[in-house]
């Protein structure tokens, strides 16, 4: 554990490896881990379970304020519970992945969940000595004063292959096609409210396209410990809206 409290903020698009890398970094450094994306997924799950129309922005914003949410911060047991129900696996299902952007692009929802995220960061710094926080806008909005701010990116091809292997067990053409909409459309939608393709000044870029998982983790650790000089964050290709229709 670091000698003084530390916050490591990691952003990136879907399939860039930010979640698995963030967990490994937190585990290695003995820090807490906070998956902010899971909070949006949990809200989407709760709204769907309660029959809340995701297009009703006021109703979804109220649901965010009422959400009885527990997010585990142990990198080895990052469970998610809503009103006592374990939804850790349920929020990763396709029905949530395909609709979570409707929740994540609601500005009132973002304001509420960002408030909760900042409170968690403060408490984890005090109680656990620090935290690795990952999401879309952590480096720019949630924790712009984090000790380390890193944007993890990868080429679209690499991101599709990783997510296809994770969800469908392979990278054949049909696996990539089944994953394409979830990766490209969701990133496109989320980019309307969160600039994770355009890193802010002071944010270090890490392109993991050609790195193994172990190399990606080590690269982040090297950045945190100062063994690797920061590089300007790359700006990955953002698909044109007509490109994949």
Q: Which residues contribute to the annotated binding site for ATP?
A: 12-20
Q: What is the DSSP letter of 142?
A: I
* Distance, CA of 69 to CA of 185 (rounded, Å): 27
The phi and psi torsions of 149 (rounded to 5 degrees) equal -125, 120
Residue given tokens 């096609």 in the structure block: 177
Determine the Cα–Cα distance for residues 160 and 36; give it in Å rounded to an integer.
Answer: 21
The residues facing 35 across adjacent strands are: 134
Q: What are the binding residues?
A: 12-20
CB atoms within 10 A of CB 51: 6
Look-up of token digits 């990278």: 171
Q: Where are the alpha helices (DSSP H) in the chain?
A: 18-29, 36-50, 57-66, 94-97, 100-104, 107-128, 156-168, 173-180, 186-190, 213-225
């Amino acid at each position: 554990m670091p000698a003084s409290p530390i916050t490591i903020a990691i952003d990136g698009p879907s399939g860039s490896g930010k979640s698995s890398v963030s967990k490994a970094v937190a585990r290695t450094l003995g820090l807490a881990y906070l998956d902010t994306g899971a909070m949006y997924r949990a809200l989407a799950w709760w709204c769907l379970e309660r029959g809340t129309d995701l297009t009703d922005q006021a109703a979804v914003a109220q649901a965010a304020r009422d959400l009885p949410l527990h997010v585990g911060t142990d990198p080895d047991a990052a469970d998610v519970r809503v009103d006592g129900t374990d939804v850790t696996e349920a929020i990763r299902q396709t029905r949530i992945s395909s609709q979570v952007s409707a929740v994540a692009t609601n500005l009132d929802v973002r304001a509420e969940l960002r408030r909760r995220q900042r409170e968690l960061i403060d408490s984890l710094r005090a109680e656990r000595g620090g935290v690795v926080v990952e999401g879309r806008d952590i480096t720019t909005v949630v924790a712009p004063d984090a000790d380390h701010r890193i944007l993890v990116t990868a080429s679209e091809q690499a991101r599709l292959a990783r997510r296809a292997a994770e969800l469908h067990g392979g990278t054949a053409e049909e696996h990539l096609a089944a994953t394409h909409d979830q990766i490209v459309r969701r990133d496109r939608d989320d980019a309307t409210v969160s600039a994770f393709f355009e890193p802010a000044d002071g944010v270090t870029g890490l392109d993991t396209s050609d790195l193994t998982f172990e190399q990606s983790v080590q690269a982040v650790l090297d950045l945190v410990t100062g063994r690797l000089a920061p590089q300007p964050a790359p700006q990955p290709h953002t698909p044109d809206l007509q490109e994949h229709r």
